[in-house]
């Protein structure tokens, strides 16, 4: 099973500066602490952070689990490598299944209605995950571009 979402994003900068990586790192740390309350920054190079598993944001980086971000520079390009956890989504799927089984077992829902409710719940969870992953690269680009320009 997948435990992390990994990928990389390239951001073009106007000039090759040694301070670009530092400014981008500082900006990402500040943004993570604002978007994810109670996040604990473990290290800054690479950025490693942990967050409470039961604290869920709706979309974007706030909805993903603990992760690691590594920023490096090659010429006038910044490369951001990320690996972000999926634990909050697994937690939501697990509790959706448990609640549905509870409602079916207590005869609040029929088996057919329970399967329908569970299917809708899974579609919503997977849709949020896909949307968060698709918007993640744009979020990295805008955050880092704002830091270096």
Is residue 119 very low, low, confident or very high in pLDDT (cuts 50, 70, 90)?
A: very high
Q: Which residues pair with 4 in a beta bridge?
A: 85
Taking residues 25-30, report their average pLDDT.
90
* Span 53-98, pLDDT tens digits: 777 677 888 888 889 999 988 888 889 999 999 988 898 899 999 9
- Residue 14 predicted with pLDDT over 80: no
Provide the residue ranges of all domains of the chain, joining segments of one domain with +: 4-148
112 phi, psi to nearest 5 deg: -65, -45
CB atoms within 10 A of CB 135: 13
As a whole number, the mean pLDDT across the chain is 87
**CATH node for 4-148:** 3.30.310
Asked if the model's pLDDT at residue 102 lies above 90, the reply is: yes
For Cα atoms 24, 70, 4, give the angle at the middle one, nearest 5 degrees: 125
Pick the closest to residue 13 from 62, 86, 75 (CA basis): 75
**Percent of the chain surpassing pLDDT 70:** 95
């Amino acid at each position: 099973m997948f435990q992390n979402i990994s990928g990389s994003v390239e951001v073009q900068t106007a000039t090759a500066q040694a301070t670009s990586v530092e400014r981008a790192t500082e900006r990402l740390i500040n943004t993570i602490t604002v978007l994810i309350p109670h996040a604990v920054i473990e290290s800054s190079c690479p950025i490693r952070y942990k967050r409470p598993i039961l604290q869920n944001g709706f979309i974007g980086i706030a909805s993903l689990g603990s992760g690691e971000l590594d920023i490096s520079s090659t010429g006038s390009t910044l490369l951001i490598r990320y690996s972000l956890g999926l634990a909050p989504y697994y937690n939501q799927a697990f509790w959706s299944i448990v609640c549905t089984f509870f409602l079916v077992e207590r005869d609040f829902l029929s088996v057919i209605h329970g399967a329908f409710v569970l299917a809708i719940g899974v579609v919503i969870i997977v849709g949020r995950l896909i949307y968060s992953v698709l918007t993640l690269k744009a979020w990295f680009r805008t955050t880092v571009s704002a830091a270096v320009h």
